[in-house]
Structure 1
């Protein structure tokens, strides 16, 4: 009787070891997100809320384009504090719009950058009326 050995069974296993989702954080390395990126996430989230508008930027009466919400951040990512300055379309309900802004900014910073937002302070720096309807003569 001859005994045949399957060569595939004796071949060395060159495949990398399987990694589980439970891999320790220290083994994966570190991730650092620049503050400018976190600021842009907050500004973009605020600008996406209905009722928030872009306004013309002026310095000494000269126009320099438009800008939307402006954010300043402080504190570590585990207790991030956000200060927003934005313009609101008039007559948009202020309370409801600010609630939506805070929710959206909090959700986006948590979802995209895994930050824990401690507070979001909002300053409304302008009320912008709807553009008048064009007149037909």
Structure 2
């Protein structure tokens, strides 16, 4: 066997760049919010599609490597609103920072609905 010369990796500034689209950040935030215990989907009219079920919605703003998030969601009723919202903020911040490497400046949460848990009629 012959040994091949191994080139050292290029310097970080010579490797190119990475840009993560705000749509990706939005989807990461929405999924983290939707997976938080205590949150629920709501029935909403979807343009041209009639009525459908939808989880949270998020808006992303920011500059550089910092983002600010606004999340609108529904909670199960009865829910400890403050505790669930604190969990949503923590989970969204952790997920966005871990997956995208953006730093989260803040997470504003609007609870737009309280929905009772639907239990099956027949057990």
| Shorter-chain TM-score range | 0.7 to 0.9
Output one character per residue of 1:71-122: Cα deviation in whole Å (capped at 9) or x when no partner: 0011125221100000000011011101110000000011000010001000
How many residue pairs get aligned? The number is 122
1:75 aligns to what SS in structure 2?
strand
Q: Within 2, Cα distance between the matches of 1:97 and 1:15?
A: 56
Unaligned runs of 5+ in 2: none
* C-alpha contact (below 8 Å) 1:110/1:116 kept by paired residues: yes
* C-alpha contact (below 8 Å) 1:54/1:68 kept by paired residues: yes
Instruction: Answer yes or no: is 1:53 the counterpart of 2:40.
Output: yes
Q: Within 1, Cα distance between the matches of 2:41 and 2:64?
A: 28
Q: Calculate the TM-score normalised by the size of structure 1.
A: 0.79
Q: Within 2, Cα distance between the matches of 1:36 and 1:108?
A: 15
Output one character per residue of 1:16-55: Cα deviation in whole Å (capped at 9) or x when no partner: 3143xxx632122100111111100000000010010011
Structure with the larger strand share: 2
Matches within 5 A, 1:21-100: 24-58=11-45, 63-100=50-87
Q: Within 2, Cα distance between the matches of 1:68 and 1:92?
A: 16
Structure 1 segments (4+ residues) deviating >6 Å: none
Aligned to 2:4: 14
Q: Calculate the TM-score normalised by the size of structure 2.
A: 0.87
Change (3 A) 1:112 1:92: same
Unaligned runs of 5+ in 1: 1-7
Instruction: Answer yes or no: is 1:105 the counterpart of 2:105.
Output: no
Question: Larger Rg: 1 or 2?
Answer: 1
